[in-house]
Structure 1
Amino acid sequence: MALLDLFIVASMPVLKLLLITGLGAYLALDHINIMGEDSRKHANNIVFYVFNPALICSSLARTITYDSVIMLWFMPFNILLTFIVGSALGWLVIHITRAPSHLQGLIIGCCSAGNMGTLFLIIIPAVCKEKGSPFGNPDVCYEDGLAYASLSLAVSAVFLWSYVYNIVQISSLKSSKAIHINDSSPITKQGDIEEPLLLGKDQLVSEYDADDGQSCTIFETKPQGQISIVKRVKQCLEKLNNKINLKIIFAPSTTGAIVGFVIALIPQIKWLLIGDEAPLRVIQDSASLLGDGTIPALTLIVGGNLLRGLKETGLEKSIIVGIVIVRYIMLPIIGIGIVKLALHFGVVQPSPLYQFVLLLQYALPPALNIGTITQLFGAGESECSVIMLWTYALASVSLTLWCTLFMWLVAP
């Protein structure tokens, strides 16, 4: 297929994204205020807790099989590699730009965590439906692509909330601007939070409780009053639960993916829910109907959130340039080498769409939920808005070019 034809196919989804994002930014203007801060906050909650899990669950349940699970095993590992390579490159950006301590976690997060949610759910289905797509039958491509996008979203959410969350936490504690917590003062936060939060303030306080720093020993050589071994075990389990923060790891999107896999891989449940003759198909149809609202709602919210970056200043340009180089030049080039090497050794199945998704995981802008994490700890919130503005503005060009190259590389 001609490179120009591939460029046109790749540009259409990005143009659609830009149009809807522009509409979201327009609706968020002060004199319009349809997508103001409060509206975005409420819409975000609906998308995060209802639309996203419904879309992920319904698409995985409909498309995943035992054979596809075997074929998809490399995808979680590939996502882990994007985090590892991105973190290493982010560390270089920190040392080259001499970034202040309170921004170091933000920089590593932006370099390591890509937006494998919103953009995947928009770009992959749209590319499949474009005339001239190299991925074969549009309907089959759409179903498979939605499953790949849903799995990517779920896996990346686990890494984001278990890795980036803790990186930003450590960075905020090292900074002189970090939130200081004592036995009697809870975490305070100024300003509205535009993204859905997975932790309440009480949970955040428990994570930094002074008792957390004490060692957890069940069998003491010295007596501890009348505390029984059972009670000590209970205390240790509570401390372990606070440190692991399962509520962060098992976000609604991750839970939706687990439910989708359970339905897909247990034949009896799948027979009840999936298919035109399924007795309980109304449940699957309802979930699909809810999931259909995810993409337009997410894109409008993105446009409104990016508008905030225009009002913020004060971030060193070298930091923005460093993150842009990592995400749009270094990571995609390294990703091509990793995927081609995996294909050479037979680790990756020779499916053009699957290879395209693996490659695209290295070329995405930073994950939007990084903004949520910076808001939780009050470290680098305004700087994060500026980074998001510039990276997403440049993504319109970068994604088009990389999608074109990736389709050319994987085209049969």
Structure 2
Amino acid sequence: MDFWKLFVIALMPNLKVLLITIVGTFLATNHFDILNVNVRKNMNTMVYFVFSPALVCSSLARTITLRSMIKLWFMPVSIFLTVVIGTALGWLLVKIARVPYHLRGLVMGCCAVGNLGNLPLIIIPAMCKERSSPFGDVDVCYRNGLAYASLSLAFGSILVWSYAFNIVRIYSTQESSTAIKVDDEFTVNPTSTTETDPESFSKCSTRTIVTTEDRSLTNNSVNQLEIETTVPNGQGEKETLLKYLKIKLTKYLQMLRKRSNLKLLFPPTLIGAIVGLIIGIVPQFRNLLVGGSALLHVLQDSLIMIGDACVPIMTMLVGANLIEGLKGERVQLSHILGIIAVRNIALPAIGVAIVKGAIHFGLIHGDPLYQFLLLLQFALPPAVAISTSTQFFGNGEGECSIIMLATYSCAAVSLTLWFTFFIWLVI
């Protein structure tokens, strides 16, 4: 197949994404004012709690079985490698370009996690439907492509909401709480300008009181242990040690409970993915819920209808958020160029070496469409949900809009070129 035919095949899916993105941009302009700031925040909340979990759950339930999971075992490994390598390159970019502290989470997140959900789910089925598709029969290609893209969506969503989301959160919360430093106890930062605020002083005082009470309780417990150490026999020493370990363990668990948020460790998309995998893998659940003849197929059909709204909404939100990048927010050019270089040049090149190496050692089965998707995962622009994360924490929204505008503008060209090369490589 000559270059121009491959180029046209690779161009069509990108045009679809670009058109939906442009619609979102127009709806966010002052002339229409449909996707304004408040609407976008509400829609982002809906995507996070409703649409994304429904899409992941329904896609995995109807396309993934135990046999396909075993067959596609290398995909999670490949996605994990994209995140690890992207994080390493992002960390180097942060150090070399001297990225401000409050933007480090944003830059590292953009380098680490690509758009593993929306784009494969749009690109792969669209590529199968092309008349001159190089991936064989349309129906077989579409069914297999949907399974591949669904699994990519599931793992990508888990990584976005469990990893990139928390990277943005960590740097956002630490930046916003410079008045208080958490170590073994709470101490007030003497350089902070907010110490004279009565409310802030009250909060700091309360935290200090709580810490003092905890410490007094701990000291009482230790004193009690010291008293008990006077027991002469070995059995008494053993009981004393067990009581001491019990107190230390209780204190550690209390500290862990206070400083961690289990809701962030188990985001809705992760829960949806787990439920979808259970339904798809366990035959009893699959027969009960999946398929037109299933007894409770109406539940699956309803879930599919809700999930189908996720891709166009998130793609339009990308376009709507891009409008913020045109309003004059300042981001250093080196940061933008660094992210573009990582996602559009370095990662795809590394991905070619990894996938070809896996093929050489027989780790990947011979389906060209599957190999194409593995290569595609290394070449995608940053995940759309990173923009949602910045809006959740109110940190770096304008900068994220500029980064998304630049990376997705470049991706319109780079993805087409990389797609052409990938298709030539696998067929």
Superposition TM-score tier, normalisation by shorter sequence? 0.7 to 0.9
Instruction: Output the CA distance in 2 between the equivalents of 1:371 and 1:179.
Output: 22
* 1:99 is the counterpart of 2:115: no
* 1:286 corresponds to: 302
Cα distance in 1 for partners of 2:122, 2:282 equals 29
Q: Distance between the aligned counterparts of 2:136 and 2:148, measured in 1?
A: 16
Residues 1:142 and 2:142 aligned together: yes
Which deviations, in whole Å up to 9, do the C-alpha atoms of 1:359-396 show, x marking residues without a partner?
A: 11111111122234344555433222211111111111
Partner of 1:249: 265
- In structure 1, runs of 5+ residues without a counterpart are 186-204
CA distance in 2: counterparts of 1:331 and 1:146, whole angstroms: 24
Q: Deviations over 1:125-153 (max 9, x none)?
A: 21222222222232332233233223223
* Structure number with bigger Rg: 2
Q: Which residue matches 2:424?
A: 408
TM-score (norm 2): 0.80
Q: Does the C-alpha gap of structure 1 residues 152 and 166 become closer, same or farther in structure 2, counting only changes over 3 Å?
A: same
Write the distance in 1 (CA, Å) between the matches of 2:316 and 2:352. Answer: 31
**2:122 match:** 122
Runs of 4+ in 1 over 6 A off after TM superposition: 209-212, 227-232
Change (3 A) 1:101 1:289: closer
Q: Specify the code of the residue in structure 2 equivalent to 1:255.
A: I
Structure 1 residue 114 displacement after superposition: 0.8
CA contact (8 A) 1:151 1:257 kept: no
Q: Report the alpha carbon displacement of residue 228 of structure 1 after superposing the two structures with TM.
A: 11
**Kept in 1: contact 2:359–2:365 (CA 8 A):** yes
Within-5 A mapping of 1:155-234: 155-172=155-172, 178-180=176-178, 182=180, 221-223=222-224
Q: Normalising to structure 1: TM-score of the pair?
A: 0.83
Q: Would you say the 8 A contact 1:272–1:278 is kept in 2? A: yes
Asked if 1:274 is matched to 2:290, the reply is: yes
| Partner Cα separation in structure 2 for residue 72 and residue 105 of structure 1 | 31
Q: Per-residue CA shift, 1:145-195, capped at 9, x if unaligned? A: 233223223323333344334444554577xx543355899xxxxxxxxxx
Q: Does 1:307 align with 2:305?
A: no
Question: Identity of counterpart residues, as a percentage?
Answer: 51
State the Cα distance separating 1:81 from its structure 2 match. Answer: 0.8
Against the structure 1 CA distance between its residues 44 and 173, is the aligned structure 2 distance closer, same or farther, given a 3 Å change threshold? closer
State the match for 2:77 in structure 1: 77
Report how many aligned residue pairs link the two structures: 383
Is the contact between residue 288 and residue 294 of structure 2 (CA under 8 Å) also seen in structure 1?
A: yes
Tell whether 2:377 aligns with 1:354: no
- Matched with 2:109 is 109
Decide whether aligned partners of structure 1 residues 16 and 161 sit closer, same or farther in structure 2, where only a CA change above 3 A counts. Answer: closer
1:86–1:112 contact (8 Å) kept in structure 2: yes
Aligned letter for 2:374? L
Check whether the contact 1:178–1:379 (CA below 8 A) recurs between aligned residues: no
Give the unaligned 5+ runs of structure 2: 181-185, 189-202, 226-242
C-alpha root-mean-square deviation of aligned residues, in Å?
3.2
Q: Would you say 1:262 and 2:260 are equivalent positions?
A: no
Query: Quick one: which amino acid aligns to residue 45 of structure 1?
Result: T
Q: Alpha carbons of 1:53 and 1:173: their partners in 2 closer, same or farther (altered >3 Å)?
A: closer
More divergent stretch after superposition (243-252 vs 308-317): 243-252
Greater mean alpha carbon deviation, residues 380-389 or residues 99-108 = 99-108
Q: Distance in 2 between matches of 1:221 and 1:231?
A: 9
Residue 40 of structure 1 contacts residue 301 of structure 1 at CA under 8 Å; is this kept in 2? yes
CA distance 1:275–1:160, change in 2 (3 Å): closer
State the Cα distance separating 1:104 from its structure 2 match: 2.6
Match 2:356 to one of 340, 348, 353: 340
Question: Which letter does structure 1 place at the counterpart of 2:78?
Answer: N
Give CA deviations for 1:267-309 in whole Å, capped at 9, x if unaligned.
Answer: 1111112223222222222222222222222222221111111
